[in-house]
A = this chain, B = another copy of it.
């Protein structure tokens, strides 16, 4: 949440500081993000549905992913089916490409789904109609309009909408055929938003906790960040649906709703930083720079 660059001597102060900018550009609310979150009501938060939550279990810990069936209903169903037949257990992260993606798959390329499907028709875009779309006021390099849908960064152009590739987003690997993905190979963005992938691949969700277990992995030395030597692969103990895990082993997470006045205040607090460190508020923001707060429920 804090991302300025104080020198060490100021760090302790900066973490707690709530200072107002001296710049003329004033946010509607005039609040910092910390103030916006402190003022949020319980109803500004939504529980993350265990039926849409994946636990990717590594020896280093648990990565928690929220699925986005709004954008990829068939792929979400199929990944749930793959998970329920333990398809991913014992597979591995085989690719870590710096400033791009972490990808996992079957290193032996032999495992077949039992009941789940291996491939599905592409879900690169969907109709804009029916989505609750909170639009950003700022221009975007790639899309006519960007914003947020149910906690996911998104874009739309006329009647068409799609989930966009920001840091931490989960997608479905595919071959050259647009309909060759299905969810047996998945990737997570760990670098600058690779927006050229938008509308070229199925976006399936985003990491809501534990991204650092993926983003800090050693980069693969081979082309495209492949680990190359099987002994370097990072084993996946399992992937489970949170709804299938005993309640005592779940992490109850809440996400800040993105369809509320509170979230609009949060956007504004980031378009124009109020803390004293900033001298020139940007006055605008890129969709992938808007924080999407997640917290552990009480």
For residues 203 through 244 of chain A, which have their beta carbon under 8 Å from a beta carbon of chain B? 211-212, 215-219, 223-224, 226
Residues in B whose Cβ lies below 8 Å from that of A282: 142, 195-196, 198
Residues in B whose Cβ lies below 8 Å from that of A124: 279-280
Query: In the complex, are the beta carbons of A180 and B7 less than 8 A apart?
Result: yes
Query: In the complex, are the beta carbons of A215 and B5 less than 8 A apart?
Result: no
A residues in contact (CB < 8 Å) with B: 2-11, 14-15, 94, 96-101, 103, 105-107, 109, 124, 138-142, 166-168, 171, 173-176, 178, 180-181, 184-185, 187, 191-201, 211-212, 215-219, 223-224, 226, 270, 273, 276-282, 284-286, 288-289
A224 to B17, CA, bound (A): 13
Residues in B whose Cβ lies below 8 Å from that of A280: 124, 199-200
* CB<8 Å pairs between A and B, sample of 28: A3-B101, A3-B224, A4-B197, A5-B173, A5-B197, A6-B173, A6-B176, A7-B180, A8-B105, A11-B224, A11-B226, A14-B224, A99-B168, A141-B141, A141-B284, A142-B286, A166-B192, A192-B286, A192-B289, A193-B286, A193-B289, A196-B270, A199-B280, A200-B277, A200-B279, A200-B280, A212-B219, A216-B217
Residues in B whose Cβ lies below 8 Å from that of A277: 176, 200
Query: In the complex, are the beta carbons of B196 and A285 less than 8 A apart?
Result: yes
How many chain copies? 2
Residues in B whose Cβ lies below 8 Å from that of A286: 141-142, 192-193, 195
User: 4 shortest A-B CB distances, which residue pairs?
Assistant: A141-B286, A212-B219, A10-B175, A199-B280
Residues in B whose Cβ lies below 8 Å from that of A218: 212, 216
Query: In the complex, are the beta carbons of B101 and A5 less than 8 A apart?
Result: yes
A285 to B11, CA, bound (A): 35
Residues in B whose Cβ lies below 8 Å from that of A212: 98, 218-219
Query: In the complex, are the beta carbons of A284 and B2 less than 8 A apart?
Result: no
A230 to B45, CA, bound (A): 37
Q: Name A192's contact: one of B193, B198, B200 (CB within 8 Å).
A: B193
A201 to B212, CA, bound (A): 26
Q: How far is the CB of A60 from chain B (nearest CB, A)?
A: 10
Given contacts A212-B219, A284-B142, contact A192 B191 (CB under 8 A): yes
